[in-house]
Amino acid sequence: MHLIVGLGNIGEKYELTRHNVGFMVIDEMTKNLSTTNINKSNFHSTLLKSGYNLYSKPTTYMNNSGQAVFAIKEYYKLDLENIIVIHDDLDLPFGAVKFKIGGGHGGHNGLRSCDAHMGQDYIRIRIGIGKPQNKSDVANYVLDNFSKEELNKLKDIIPHTIDAINALIKGEELTVVKSKFTLK
């Protein structure tokens, strides 16, 4: 069983923001799957099950994502290597997709929360959103909507990311997935 988590913020006003690219991947990934909605209040998550896999969009807002991921991890007794977290990354150019296990949070509050609740050794899929010109604009930048041009490019990036996730779920080694699916 794998837990695939998209990080983001709940609510219509955040739907197309850069910080919600993880939610966008989960939405696209699950739209054609036969799913069951799992409602447990302590999961703090929109949680869908399809086959042996779980798909989560934490409802805790970004800064407390780890609370939701940890609750699901513990309930289903999942190993960290079976948890895949998809998130936006300011340190990567827009459209880059990279994969890793562990590492620091790089100032990303969703990752900081996940790390604090369960450690760092889960699979991370980093989707580049670029950086604002002025460092003091980071909070506004991640909460701004993607431009129309960026949304158009995401129509290719998101399915590419889903292909990588499916390869991981099917048992491909992370090193193989990195070589096949990394976008720079």
87 has catalytic annotation: no
Q: What count of other Cβ atoms lies within 10 Å of the Cβ of residue 8?
A: 29
For range 53-76, the mean pLDDT: 97
Q: How many CB atoms lie within 10 A of CB 65?
A: 32
**What's the CA gap between 57 and 4, in Å, rounded?**
9
Active-site option among 2, 19, 44, 87: 19
Considering only 103-107, 141-145, 178-182, which range has the smallest mean pLDDT? 103-107
Q: Is the pLDDT of residue 135 over 90?
A: no
Alpha helices in 37-93 (DSSP H): 65-76
Domain residue spans in the chain?
3-181
Q: Give CA–CA dist 64/56, Å, rounded.
A: 14
Assigned CATH class of 3-181: alpha beta
pLDDT higher than 90, residue 136: no
For the segment 91-119, the average pLDDT, to the nearest whole number, is: 96
